Amino acid sequence: MRDHGGNIDAAVSRHGGTLAEWIDLSTGINRVPYPLPDMPPEVWTMLPTRSAQAALIEAARRAWSTRAPMLALAGAQGAIQMIPRLGRPGRARVLAPTYNEHAAALRAAGWQVEEVATLADLAGADLAVVVNPNNPDGRQHPPAALQALLERVGRLVVDESFGDMTPEMSLTPQAGRAGLLVLRSFGKFYGLAGLRLGFVLGGAAEIAALAEMAGPWPVSGAALAIGTRALADTAWAEATTRRLAEEAPRLDALAERAGWTPRGGSTLFRLYDTPQAAAAQDALARHRIWSRRFPYSDRWLRLGLPGTPAEWDRLTQALESLHAV
Q: Is the peptide bond before 309 cis (omega within 30 degrees of 0)?
A: no
- Residue type at 315? L
Ordered strands of the 292-294 beta sheet: 261-265, 269-273, 297-304, 292-294
* Stretch(es) of the chain classified as CATH 3.40.640.10: 42-232
- Residue type at 93? R
Asked if residues 300 and 265 have their Cβ atoms less than 8 Å apart, the reply is no
Between CA 116 and CA 19 the distance in angstroms is: 38
For the whole model, what pTM was predicted?
Answer: 0.96
Low-confidence ranges of the chain (pLDDT < 50): 1, 325
pLDDT at 2: 60
pLDDT at 324: 55
pLDDT at 325: 47
Nearest to 308 by CA among 232, 243, 255: 243
pLDDT at 6: 75
* Stretch(es) of the chain classified as CATH 3.90.1150.10: 8-33+235-324
pLDDT at 147: 96
Summarised one tens digit per residue, pLDDT across range 123-179 is: 999 999 999 999 999 999 999 999 999 999 999 999 999 999 999 999 999 999 999
User: The domain at 8-33+235-324 falls in which architecture?
Assistant: Alpha-Beta Complex (3.90)
pLDDT at 125: 98
Q: 42-232: what fold?
A: Aspartate Aminotransferase; domain 2 (3.40.640)
Beta strand residue intervals within the chain, DSSP E: 23-24, 70-73, 91-95, 112-116, 127-131, 155-159, 180-185, 198-201, 261-265, 269-273, 289-290, 292-294, 297-304
